[in-house]
């Protein structure tokens, strides 16, 4: 179990770093879908090895909602987006370096959790938290609505992975609430983006800078 959970979470983190690195929207979207599938695999693995049937159901729901439905909605949102020119001098190097630093930070913050217990999955907990932190970074530094949504979803994936690793699955009502929540947020975001595009002819959030003071 330790090997499997470590490997799957590590791959999830690698995909997260690739999302940081890539600039093109379709590529980042595919990477997000891949990350969600890894998360589902993690849920299924922990479910089988720890004999939690509920996690298998969770894995199926993750595949359907985060692997298929949400990427489709995101593709629909992104289909009308103007292709963002990559500004010269904006290297991914710095951002990757920051992401690397966040992994270290994640290990430090999660020390109380990993030192509190002897779990077969404990080694992967900081990796999942690093995914969440990097997602949060993507969300905060995102320059358009798509960047914000993608960052938020990566963030959410990281937290969800942490929940699986630390607790082997939460009570059903909470899991259901989490999925419903993510789905509704993405759909509301789509409605908002449609209106932003309608009002401003682009989804660059630089246009949303009127409210100050």
Partner 1 sequence: MMLVALLAIPLLGATLSWRAADRLATALHAATATLTVIGALAVTITVNRGEPLVAFDGFLRADALSAWMIALIGLVAALAASEAPRYVARVRAGRFYALFHLFVFTMLLAVSTDDVGLMWVAVEGTTLASVFLVNFERTRASLEAAYKYLLICSIGIAIAFLGTVLVYFAGIQQFGDEVHALRWTTLVRLAPGLSPRVIELAFVFLVVGYGTKAGLAPMHTWLPDAHSEAPAPVSALMSGVLLSVGVYAILRFKPAVDAAAGAGFARGILLALGLLSVGVAAAFLWTSPNYKRMLAYSSVEHIGLVCLGLGFGGTLGTSGALLHIANHALAKSIGFLLTGRIRAAYGSAEIAAVGGLLHGMPRTGAAFLAAMLALVGLPPFGLFVSEVMIFGAGFARGFPIVAGVALVLLVIAFAGLLRGVHAIVFGPSTGAPTAETSAWRPVLPMAAAFALLLLTGLTWPPGLGATLDRIVAIVVP
Which of 89, 94, 115, 206 binds partner 1 (CB under 8 A)? It is 115
Q: What number of chain residues touch partner 1 (CB under 8 A)? A: 40
Residue 184 interacting with partner 1 (CB under 8 A): yes
Range 193-202 contact pairs with CB under 8 angstroms and sequence separation of 24 or more: 193/77, 193/145, 193/146, 196/145, 197/80, 202/81, 202/82
Contact 16, 135 (CB under 8 A): yes
Report, in Å, the least distance between residue 27 CB and partner 1.
23
Which of 57, 170, 202, 204 binds partner 1 (CB under 8 A)? It is 170
Residue 173 interacting with partner 1 (CB under 8 A): yes
Residue 32 interacting with partner 1 (CB under 8 A): no
Report, in Å, the least distance between residue 139 CB and partner 1.
6
SS (H, E, C) 2-71: HHHHHHHHHHHHHHHHHHHHCCCHHHHHHHHHHHHHHHHHHHHHHHHHCCCHHHHHHHHHHHHHHHHHHH
Contact 46, 168 (CB under 8 A): yes
Comparison of 87 and 108: residue with beta carbon closer to partner 1: 108
Buried b (16+ CB within 10 A) or exposed e, 145-163: bbbbbbbbbbbbbbebbbb
Report, in Å, the least distance between residue 67 CB and partner 1.
19
Give the contact letters, 130-169, x = binds to partner 1 (CB under 8 A), - = no: --x---x--x-----x--x---x--xx--x--xx--xx--
Comparison of 29 and 163: residue with beta carbon closer to partner 1: 163
> Residue 81 has what DSSP assignment?
S
* Cα–chain center distance at 5: 17
Residue 201 interacting with partner 1 (CB under 8 A): no
Query: What phi, psi does 144 have (nearest 5°)?
Result: -135, 175
Residue 108 interacting with partner 1 (CB under 8 A): no
Question: What are the residues binding partner 1 (CB under 8 A)?
Answer: 109, 112-113, 115-117, 132, 136, 139, 145, 148, 152, 155-156, 159, 162-163, 166-167, 170-171, 173-174, 177-178, 181, 184-185, 188-189, 192, 195-196, 199, 205, 208-211, 213
């Amino acid at each position: 179990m330790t090997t499997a959970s470590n490997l799957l979470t590590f791959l999830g983190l690698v995909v997260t770093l690739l999302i940081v690195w890539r600039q093109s929207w379709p590529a980042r979207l595919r990477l997000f879908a891949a990350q969600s599938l890894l998360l589902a695999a993690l849920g299924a693995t922990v479910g089988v090895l720890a004999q939690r049937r509920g996690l298998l159901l969770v894995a199926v729901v993750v595949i359907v909602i985060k692997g298929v439905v949400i990427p489709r909605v995101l593709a629909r949102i992104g289909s009308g987006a103007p292709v963002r020119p990559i500004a010269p001098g904006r290297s991914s190097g710095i951002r990757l370096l920051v992401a690397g630093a966040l992994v270290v930070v994640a290990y430090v913050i999660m020390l109380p959790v990993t030192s509190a217990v002897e779990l077969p999955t404990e080694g992967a907990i900081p990796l999942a938290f690093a995914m969440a932190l990097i997602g949060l970074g993507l969300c905060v530094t995102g320059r358009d609505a798509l960047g914000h949504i993608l960052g938020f979803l990566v963030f959410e994936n990281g937290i969800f992975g942490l929940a699986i690793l630390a607790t082997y699955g939460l009570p059903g009502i909470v899991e259901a609430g989490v999925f419903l929540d993510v789905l509704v947020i993405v759909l509301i975001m789509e409605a908002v983006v449609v209106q932003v595009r309608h009002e401003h002819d682009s989804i660059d959030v630089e246009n949303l800078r009127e409210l100050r003071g």
